[in-house]
Amino acid sequence: MKQFNGQVLFLDRDDINTDEIIPAKYLTENSKEALKPHILEDLHLDGFNAGRDIAGKSIIVAKSNFGCGSSREHAVWVFEVNDIKVVIAESFARIFRQNMFNCGMLAIELPKNEIDTLFLLGENTVINVDLEQNKIIAQNEQGRKEEFSFTLNPFDRELVLADGWLAYADSKY
């Protein structure tokens, strides 16, 4: 089973859009790697500094309607090349969510109160996503632990396990 775990980057806002995740001017790049330094470059969030806050993080926790706006899969790739393979949020924009699963990555929805609880854990929280039990286990520096279960629809799970939609579709259609 694939492993998804690591340090959390908390982004405390609704409606974070794909222009903020990766500005349109970088859409002329023809490789994923070239996007790497521009992750969340235009994100406007009090106290957030892309240059300082992203290193070492592998899971994003955010609020509602994450990834709204354009269809650019670059928004998923810029996470991928920065080793962020999971986004946990109250809700996602459809295309972004689909792009995550299509790339074999995880977009997990949790109810608002559980997201709020995760935010309360604060900086230096580590999350472990257990794909077998459908559980998220979060632990902060002080050792406080929170556990939530999530639902993943069987098709999305298959995409994650198959390493994305292209491999899946290629073997099936």
Partner 1 sequence: AYVFTFNLTFLFNMVKKLDSLWTIDFQCIRSVRIMGKTIAEKIFAAHLRDEPSPGNVVLDIDVILCHEITTPIAINDLVAKNRDRVFDPDKIKAVIDHVTPAKDSKTATQGKILRDWARRHKIKDFFDIGRNGVCHAIFPEKGFIRPGYTVIMGDSHTCTHGAFGAFAAGVGTTDLEVGILKGVCSFREPKTMKVYISGKLPDTVSAKDVILNIIKQISVNGATDMVMEFVGPVVEQMSMEARMTLCNMAIEAGGTSGICMPDRVTVEYLWPFIKDSYASVDEAVADSKKWHSDPDAVYAKELRIDVSGLQPQVTYGFKPDEVKDITDMEGTPIDQVYIGSCTNGRIEDLRAAAAILANRTIAPTVRGILSPATPAIYSRAMAEGLIKVFMDAGFCVTNPTCGACLGMSNGVLAEGEACASTTNRNFNGRMGKGGMVHLMSPLSAAAAAIAGHITDPGKYL
Q: Contact at 8 Å (CB) between 92 and 107?
A: yes
Q: What angle do helix axes 154-162 and 165-172 make, rounded to 10 degrees?
A: 100
Q: What is the DSSP letter of 22?
A: S
Measured from the CB of residue 59, what is the shortest distance to partner 1 in angstroms? 21
The CA distances from residue 160 to 31, 50, 52, 68, 90, in Å, are: 22, 27, 30, 21, 20
Nearer to partner 1, 12 or 29 (CB): 29
Measured from the CB of residue 166, what is the shortest distance to partner 1 in angstroms? 6
Nearer to partner 1, 8 or 97 (CB): 97
Q: Which helix (H) or strand (E) holds 60?
A: strand 57-62
- Which residues are at the interface with partner 1 (CB under 8 A)? 15, 17, 19-20, 23-25, 27-30, 42, 44, 64-65, 68-74, 76, 91, 93-95, 98-99, 102-103, 153-156, 158, 164-166, 169-170, 172-173
Nearer to partner 1, 134 or 140 (CB): 134
Place of tokens 């926790």: 61
Q: What is the DSSP letter of 57?
A: E
Measured from the CB of residue 22, what is the shortest distance to partner 1 in angstroms? 11
Distance CA 71, CA 64 (A): 17
Tokens of 39: 């992750």
If one counts every other C-beta atom within 10 angstroms of the C-beta of residue 149, the result is: 11
Nearer to partner 1, 78 or 121 (CB): 78
Measured from the CB of residue 157, what is the shortest distance to partner 1 in angstroms? 9
Measured from the CB of residue 85, what is the shortest distance to partner 1 in angstroms? 15
Nearer to partner 1, 45 or 126 (CB): 45
